[in-house]
Amino acid sequence: MRHPQPRSALVGSKTSIRCLFTFPALSRLQKQLAKHLVEFNFETIGGSQTDDEISISQSLKEFGRLLCDIEEERSKILDTAMDQYIKPLEDFRRLQIGNVKTEKKKFDKESTKFYQSQEKHLSMSCKKDDNFLKEADADLQLQRRHFIQASLRYVKAIQEVHERKKFEFVETLWSFMNSWMNFFRISYDVTREYEPYMKDLQVRVQKTRDSFISFCAEAEALMNKIKTSESAGEPTTAPTTGFVYLMEKSMFGCFFYH
């Protein structure tokens, strides 16, 4: 006879919930990244910076603070994961399913004893003394009662696990999922809060990219002009011997050579 095993519904649960312990490692790496971003400094040419350059140079620090805020919320879940989620699931597996295993062992033991008593009783000679037969009948009935009681306890234990799964097991997972939903909700709120800053930064970065492209084009044109003049043996307005070409930035983000 094959009995339903409640453990089949929870197979792999121990391994699965242990995966939660991988999250702290991820959180630590995220915090390390955030720390590096906050401590990172851009090196700029010249003594002054434009507003765009100041904003861009501070952007990594903002990214680092954003990551820190998110990881702090994640840490709140992970810090309570053992007591609020993992331990209740472990207890459910150990106590409830463990009880089913115990009752199954008792049931198997009583089943074997009862079947052996039946075989012994059936093979008994009818020529035996009446008192002996009555005693054998009484022993068989006693084994039958023990078998029935063990069967009922085993079935009851299985039924209890299946019923408890509907509230104890699901309730724990509901709490776990609710915590993560709150985490994502907070992360979304933080993202919305940073959205104007991110859009402004995107515009400034694009302006810087466009300025760089224009600068490269102007620098290339200037270098070609100097090369052409020198090849033709014409005097150039810009000195080419004994001087170093220096690039400076004006307050308006333009570039010029001297």
Q: Which residues contact 171 (CB under 8 A, 6 or more apart)?
A: none
Given this model, what pLDDT does residue 19 score?
Answer: 63
Given this model, what pLDDT does residue 233 score?
Answer: 61
pLDDT interval class at 14 (50, 70, 90):
low
**Average pLDDT of span 238-245:** 44
What share of the chain in percent tops pLDDT 70?
Answer: 76
- Are the beta carbons of 118 and 140 closer than 8 angstroms? yes
Task: Give the distance, in angstroms, between the CA of residue 109 and the centroid of all CA atoms in the same chain.
Answer: 45
**Average pLDDT of span 12-17:** 56
Q: How far apart are CA 258 and CA 245, in angstroms?
A: 6
Average pLDDT, the chain: 78
- Are the beta carbons of 6 and 165 closer than 8 angstroms? yes
Given this model, what pLDDT does residue 66 score?
Answer: 87
Q: How far apart are CA 167 and CA 161, in angstroms?
A: 10
Q: pLDDT by residue (tens digit) across 136-185?
A: 788 888 888 999 999 999 999 999 988 888 888 888 888 888 888 888 88
pLDDT surpasses 60 at 17: no
Q: Which amino acid is at 86?
A: I
**Average pLDDT of span 120-137:** 73
Nearest C-alpha neighbor of 207 from the set 60, 57, 56, 43? 56
Task: Give the distance, in angstroms, between the CA of residue 177 and the centroid of all CA atoms in the same chain.
Answer: 12
Q: How far apart are CA 172 and CA 33, in angstroms?
A: 33
Is the full-model pTM beyond 0.95?
A: no
Q: Which residues contact 96 (CB under 8 A, 6 or more apart)?
A: 6, 160, 161, 164, 168
Residue tagged 């097991």 (tokens): 169
Task: Give the distance, in angstroms, between the CA of residue 237 and the centroid of all CA atoms in the same chain.
Answer: 64
Would you tell me how many other CB atoms lie within 10 Å of the CB of residue 155?
14
Nearest C-alpha neighbor of 23 from the set 76, 67, 64? 76
Q: CA 54 → CA 50, 201, 205, 255, distances in Å?
A: 6, 11, 11, 17
Spell out the alpha helix ranges (H) of 123-247: 130-164, 170-231
Nearest C-alpha neighbor of 137 from the set 148, 126, 150? 126
pLDDT surpasses 60 at 4: no
Position with higher pLDDT, 148 vs 119: 148
Q: How far apart are CA 53 and CA 17, in angstroms?
A: 47
